[in-house]
Structure 1
């Protein structure tokens, strides 16, 4: 059985790129999450207010 090292190196590069992309996505999501939670809480308060109040 022969191992295609070029193919393996490309696969490893792809996995590293996917990891980097996922890491950046997670960091960006965490930054947005704080504002999202604050907005959701404010919306919940507005929804809980009596109509016309």
Structure 2
């Protein structure tokens, strides 16, 4: 499924609301693999602080 910002650019996720913080899917995956939540993922209910180790 594709998600878009209001200006028509593609968003990697439906939870991302601030286009200026968005990273590439590759960058996001690398950070999550290191158990680091990127700033662009701050609105994600699946990556709630304190639960990241169980979610990833």
TM-score for both structures, normalised by structure 2: 0.23
More strand, by proportion: 2
TM-score for both structures, normalised by structure 1: 0.24
Answer with 1 or 2: which has the greater Rg.
1
